[in-house]
Amino acid sequence: MKEKKSINTMRLSKRRLIQVYAAFLYNAHIRGFIQGSIYTGKSKIACVPGLNCYSCPGAVGACPLGALQNALAYSGKTAGFYVFGIIILYGLIFGRTICGYLCPFGLIQELLHKIPTPKIRKNRITRALSYLKYIILAVFAAGITLWYGIMHGITIPGFCKYICPAGTFEGAIGLLSTLANADDFGMLGILFTRKFIIMLLIALICILCYRAFCRFICPLGAIYGLFNKFNIIGVKVDMNRCNNCGACVRNCRMDVRHVGDHECINCAKCMDVCAQKAISVKAGSITLLAPEGGCSGDKPDSEKKRKLFEKITWCIALVVLTFALLWFNFLDPSLKKDDELPAQQNQAVKTEDVQENTEPVETDIPVGYEVGNKLSDFEIELFDGSKFSISGAAGKPVIINLWATYCGPCVQELPLFEELYKEHKDDIVIVAVHNWELAEDDPKEFVKSKGFDLPFALDSSEQTVWKAVGGTESIPQTIVLDRNGIVIYNKRKSVDKALLDSLYEEASAGYRGFYSKFLT
E-assigned strands of 262-381? 279-283, 286-289, 348-351, 363-366, 379-381
How far apart are alpha carbons 474 and 492 in whole angstroms? 6
Between the CA atoms of 73, 75, 80 and 83, what dihedral angle is there, to the nearest 10 degrees? 60
Residue 238 has pLDDT above 70, yes or no: yes
pLDDT at position 280, please? 92
E-assigned strands of 352-486? 363-366, 379-381, 387-389, 398-403, 429-434, 456-458, 477-481
Residue 5 has pLDDT above 70, yes or no: no
Instruction: State whether residue 40 is helix, strand or coil.
Output: coil
pLDDT at position 296, please? 64
pLDDT at position 9, please? 52
Give yes or no for a contact between 268 and 15, defined as CB atoms under 8 angstroms apart.
yes
pLDDT at position 433, please? 94
Q: How confident is the model at residue 217 (pLDDT cuts 50, 70, 90)?
A: very high
pLDDT at position 6, please? 45
pLDDT at position 199, please? 97
Give the tens place of pLDDT for each residue, 422-462.
999 889 999 999 987 655 567 888 888 888 999 999 988 78
Q: Within 10 A of 66 (CB to CB), how many other CB atoms are there?
A: 25
More confident residue, 351 or 109: 109
pLDDT at position 347, please? 40
Q: How confident is the model at residue 8 (pLDDT cuts 50, 70, 90)?
A: low
How far apart are alpha carbons 101 and 107 in whole angstroms? 8
pTM of the predicted model as reported, rounded to 2 decimal places? 0.75
pLDDT at position 364, please? 59
Residue 374 has pLDDT above 80, yes or no: yes
DSSP code, position 47: B
Average pLDDT, the chain: 85
E-assigned strands of 184-337? 233-237, 279-283, 286-289
> What is the rounded average pLDDT of the residues 104-125?
96
Q: How confident is the model at residue 518 (pLDDT cuts 50, 70, 90)?
A: very low
> What is the rounded average pLDDT of the residues 21-30?
97
Give the DSSP H or E segment for 491: strand 487-491
Instruction: State whether residue 85 is helix, strand or coil.
Output: helix
Q: How confident is the model at residue 509 (pLDDT cuts 50, 70, 90)?
A: confident
pLDDT exceeding 70 applies to what percent of the chain? 87
Q: Which of the residue ranges 65-74, 323-332, 339-348 would you say has the lowest mean pLDDT? A: 339-348
More confident residue, 45 or 222: 222
pLDDT at position 455, please? 94
Domains (range + CATH), the chain: 2-331 (no CATH), 348-518 (3.40.30.10)
Residue 236 has pLDDT above 70, yes or no: yes
